[in-house]
Amino acid sequence: MTELTPNSSFSLTIRVQVPNRPGMLATVISAISSAGGSMGQIDLIEQTRQVSVRDITVDCTSTSHAESIVDTVKALPESKIVNVYDRTFNLHRGGKISVHSRIPLRGQEDLAMAYTPGVGRICSAIAENPDEVYNLTVKHNMVAIVTDGSAVLGLGNLGPAAALPVMEGKAMLFKEFGGVDAFPICLDTQDTDEIVETVKRIAPVFGGVNLEDIAAPRCFEIEARLQRELKIPIFHDDQHGTAIVSLAALINALKLVKKPMREVKVVINGAGAAGVAIARLLRKAGTEDIVMCDSKGILARDRADLTLQKQEFAVETGGTLADAMRGADVFLGVSAPRVVTPDMVRSMAKDPIVFAMANPIPEIQPELIAHEVAVMATGRSDYPNQINNVLAFPGIFRGALDCRAQTLTTGMYLEAAQAIAELVKSSELHREHIVPSVFDERVAIAVSAAVQQAARHDGVALG
């Protein structure tokens, strides 16, 4: 059993030339398959009486695996590799987003209205009535995606330039799934005061701010201060996006095992931004028995190394992760690869629920406990039940922008989670389908509607 499944994030297009005679293509395909590659599209590029040239798409498990597959094809006696394309690098080349005008400029008349002199009238109107900025500019539909590059994916502190591809991708998801215009803002500072001040200074352009890949515990203070000092929604997706989708998935998983939210014991491994946010939201949803662990074990009150956020969830008795999981109903992992064993899962209560969300390698491989759990979820797209933040943040901002929410509330998060969960009908609900597909067009619409209703209930909506 391979630990990783080939996937499109490590995808190659191999352009190979072989003699034009029966069986040559089959030889190449067989060699790729024997090396563990997953075949994709095959395109005929050129064919003569003597040779055939084809592009063969192959999914791999890693960069080294890709190199091994290329070497295998090279070793075939009558094949010639013309070129190798890394499809992921090619997709990013030149960047993934651009700015387009919403209206065409066909002539002098359009130019006079869109720019000088006509635009002066618009500037004056906004100066006289600042709220008109929402009607007459991009602000009504524009979100800043702000990072300092200090916690990029699971890769660590890579800095602002290396964080940019993630922020570009986020902007794509905002537009494709929520119709929200978003722009990456990668700040060349990791000083909390400077980040807060910079975001405040650029805020006139944006109707909301999505904080991304900022390390804990700094991210908590940055979000809290910006929420206090600005009158636009501030959302830290690594916290609240993960928490919302995790809660939605748990609501449906608990339906399957017929256990009430208030009575289950939940173990959360990982006490960073995501873990703390999940714990906070679960508490608001009614979960009373939460044990949180970090790399040193259970957060116990006698530990002197706990941050303020960790102290919120400290319990009387310490111990290891294995100790915490004994008798637990639910395990939620936002931590590190391979920290959970099958024996630890077997020690849980009847019909255990395991969400192993570390990426790309989960806390435990689903294959190892397929028959031990009632419900299994991961953060990966190649397993069922992917806990993916794209189920939340496009709809969150769509709703917040449309109702002119001045802030985001816990009530909005709870309603968003419930809306996501309810998209999986009871007749469709099963152990491998507890959340809707990220490509389900109903998701952003449902989340947006729930967010707007909660914003009005909580008194934070202006529109």
Residues that are catalytic: 115, 170
**Which residues lie across from 84 on neighbouring strands?**
14
CA distance 379 to 354: 12
Residue 139 has phi, psi (to 5 degrees) of: -55, -35
CA distance 278 to 293: 13
Distances (CA, A) of 461 to 130, 210, 405, 455: 17, 18, 4, 5
Q: How far apart are the first and last CA of the chain?
A: 55
CA distance 69 to 67: 5
CA distance 452 to 356: 31
Handedness of CA 284, 285, 291, 292 (dihedral sign): negative
Q: What is the DSSP string of 347-362?
A: TS-SS-EEEE--SSS-
| Beta-carbon contacts of residue 363 (< 8 Å; ≥ 6 apart) | 269, 331, 333, 335, 336, 337, 338, 339, 340, 356, 357
State the alpha helices, DSSP H only, in 326-441.
Answer: 342-346, 393-402, 410-422
- The encoded tokens of residue 118 equal 């006509």
Is 433 in a helix, a strand, or coil? strand
State the alpha helices, DSSP H only, in 129-217.
Answer: 133-136, 160-178, 192-202
- The encoded tokens of residue 152 equal 């990029």
CA distance 231 to 422: 31
| Beta-carbon contacts of residue 6 (< 8 Å; ≥ 6 apart) | 36, 37, 38, 58, 59, 60, 61, 65
